[in-house]
């Protein structure tokens, strides 16, 4: 009897191994045709100089009354005369230009390319740490240096350079193409909201819009040698709440067993120990399913057999902040407020908690979860609904827009991995999506790990090689319309 059981168990194990092996072998990237990299033949040196000059305009998002905002728009007119001669421009508040390049076939729904030209401030005490002054627009060592090169003037200049070259070459798109350049993306995107409202008022429904969101990631994802272009289908929502504890106060020499600070600390600890439910579903599943095909065979075995290894895989992915953020709505306590003096018991203690909402969760879902996790009627939960926004709709990774973006990326960057992803921060795309059937998010630049600290940080820069890639990407994409 025992021999028969062991023999049967052995057959089950062999069958299981065979199934795992078969699924692993079948689980691989689709074939990609090799071809010569596409080039539109733009003047790259001139484009680098134009971007350098664009950096010199101090279009800092915290001061939109600065004269450099209108001056930057005048600079675009001077730098791209064919664009301004050919396209209709509408200026929407606050300082957001919308360009319309009329296509030859009015029956085709239009598309839109978007970027923004406002930038985040530079902290005064970091100025001495920059290799080149942040607003000097220096071209050196194969890079254009300065605030806004990566985020997001580089994409704006690349898109307009591509359009300028195509117009001068006699090209006219078949479908109408809009270009929208936000002037306040870093502070909420009222300009993008105005663009979406303007288009809807004109009866315009975009087939798709492309905005910032991710990059071609080189040597950033552990275990992957091939660069990964994450073409993001959606972006997370945003919610900030305050947890408030009340008490009588008094002198710290005679404290109660649980002060307002103690009660608040317990609530924050409980909330952190109970993360929002996550998992490999929806856009998260699409991302990791596409990405998993590019790993070595041992790791592919896990991704290919999620029916067996899902709990293990989710546990591994939850262990890293970057991948955990792809799985769930994240919980981030960021600010604490209590007594103004160390020997005074506060009558009110406040914790501020920021959530980035996964598309599967609503604002109300988060609030229900917070209340249950804290389980303390003495804690007041105050949600800032005015500044909150739900996650964006999830666009179709099989749609024509996604396929055009993916094909254009491959034509310029070669046979890299391309995957549908999720933007974990906020962009103007969430506003443009209200006037579009789909919204996609990627910057056509290749970055490495040390570039990540440059976003909103010190020594922001964009390589001239990336400027060329960006121009060629936009030209390839425009040429498909």
Strands 216-217, 138-140: parallel, antiparallel or unpaired by DSSP?
unpaired
- Work out whether the CA dihedral 424, 425, 427, 431 comes out positive or negative: positive
Side-chain-side CA neighbours of 5 within 13 Å: the count stands at 2
Tokens 């914790």 found at: 351
Both structure tokens of 352: 């501020």
Counted residue by residue, the chain has a size of: 481
Query: Which of 424, 420, 395, 55 is CA-nearest to residue 238?
Result: 424
What does the alpha-carbon distance between residue 238 and residue 354 come to, in Å, rounded to a whole number? 8
What does the alpha-carbon distance between residue 264 and residue 246 come to, in Å, rounded to a whole number? 9
Known active-site residue 185? yes
What does the alpha-carbon distance between residue 447 and residue 231 come to, in Å, rounded to a whole number? 15
Q: Which of 118, 212, 404, 460 is catalytic?
A: 118
Q: Which of 164, 184, 185, 235 is catalytic?
A: 185
Task: Measure the CA angle with vertex 20, ends 15 and 25; round to 5°.
Answer: 125
Query: Which of 452, 440, 387, 408 is CA-nearest to residue 150?
Result: 452
Both structure tokens of 335: 């600010």
Residue pair 432/192 in contact by the 8 Å Cβ criterion? yes
Known active-site residue 118? yes
What does the alpha-carbon distance between residue 173 and residue 175 come to, in Å, rounded to a whole number? 5
Strands 143-145, 138-140: parallel, antiparallel or unpaired by DSSP?
antiparallel
What does the alpha-carbon distance between residue 210 and residue 193 come to, in Å, rounded to a whole number? 15
What does the alpha-carbon distance between residue 311 and residue 289 come to, in Å, rounded to a whole number? 15
Reduced to 3 states (helix: H, G, I; strand: E, B; else coil), residue 341 is coil
DSSP state of 389: B
Phi-psi bin for 414: left (phi > 0), alpha (psi -120 to 50), beta?
A: left
What does the alpha-carbon distance between residue 399 and residue 295 come to, in Å, rounded to a whole number? 26
- The catalytic residue positions are 118, 185
């Amino acid at each position: 009897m025992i021999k028969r059981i062991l023999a049967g168990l052995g057959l089950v194990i062999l069958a299981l191994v065979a199934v795992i092996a078969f699924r692993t072998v079948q689980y691989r990237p689709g074939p990609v045709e090799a071809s010569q990299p596409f080039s539109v033949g733009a003047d790259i040196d001139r484009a680098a100089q134009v971007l350098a000059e664009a950096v010199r305009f101090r279009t800092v998002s915290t001061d939109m009354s600065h004269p450099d905002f209108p001056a930057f728009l005048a600079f675009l007119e001077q730098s791209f005369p064919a664009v301004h001669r050919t396209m209709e421009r509408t200026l929407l508040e606050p300082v957001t230009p919308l360009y319309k390049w009329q296509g030859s076939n009015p029956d085709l729904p239009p598309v839109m390319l978007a970027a923004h030209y406002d930038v985040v401030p530079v902290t005064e005490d970091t100025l001495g740490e920059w290799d080149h002054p942040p607003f000097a627009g220096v071209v050196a060592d194969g890079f254009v240096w300065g605030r806004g090169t990566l985020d997001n003037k580089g994409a704006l200049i690349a898109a307009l350079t591509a359009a300028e070259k195509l117009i001068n070459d006699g090209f006219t798109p078949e479908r109408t193409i809009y270009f929208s350049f936000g002037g306040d993306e870093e502070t909420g995107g009222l300009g993008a909201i105005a663009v979406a409202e303007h288009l809807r008022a004109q009866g315009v429904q975009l087939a798709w819009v492309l905005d910032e969101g991710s990059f071609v990631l080189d040597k950033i994802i552990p275990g992957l040698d091939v660069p990964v272009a994450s073409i993001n289908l959606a972006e997370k929502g945003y919610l900030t709440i305050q947890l408030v504890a009340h008490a009588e106060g008094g002198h710290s020499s005679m404290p109660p067993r649980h002060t307002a600070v103690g009660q608040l600390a317990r609530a924050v600890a409980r909330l952190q120990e109970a993360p929002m439910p996550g998992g490999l579903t929806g856009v998260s599943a699409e991302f990791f399913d596409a990405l998993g095909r590019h790993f070595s065979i041992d790791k592919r075995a896990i991704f290919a057999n999620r029916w067996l290894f899902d709990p293990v895989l989710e546990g591994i992915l939850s262990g890293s902040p970057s991948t955990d953020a792809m799985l769930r709505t994240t919980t981030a306590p960021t600010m604490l407020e209590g007594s103004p003096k160390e020997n005074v018991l506060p009558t009110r203690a406040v914790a501020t908690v920021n959530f980035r909402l996964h598309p599967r969760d609503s604002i109300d879902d988060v609030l229900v979860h917070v209340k249950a996790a804290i389980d303390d009627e003495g804690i007041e939960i105050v949600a800032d609904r005015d500044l909150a926004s739900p996650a964006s709709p999830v666009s179709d990774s099989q749609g024509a827009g996604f396929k055009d973006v993916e094909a254009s990326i491959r034509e310029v960057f070669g046979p890299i991995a391309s995957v549908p992803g999720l933007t974990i921060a906020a962009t103007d795309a969430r506003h443009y999506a209200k006037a579009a059937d789909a919204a996609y998010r990627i910057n056509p630049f290749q970055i490495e790990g040390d570039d990540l600290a440059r976003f909103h940080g010190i020594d922001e820069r964009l390589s001239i090689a990336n400027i060329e890639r960006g121009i060629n990407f936009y030209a390839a994409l425009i040429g498909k319309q």
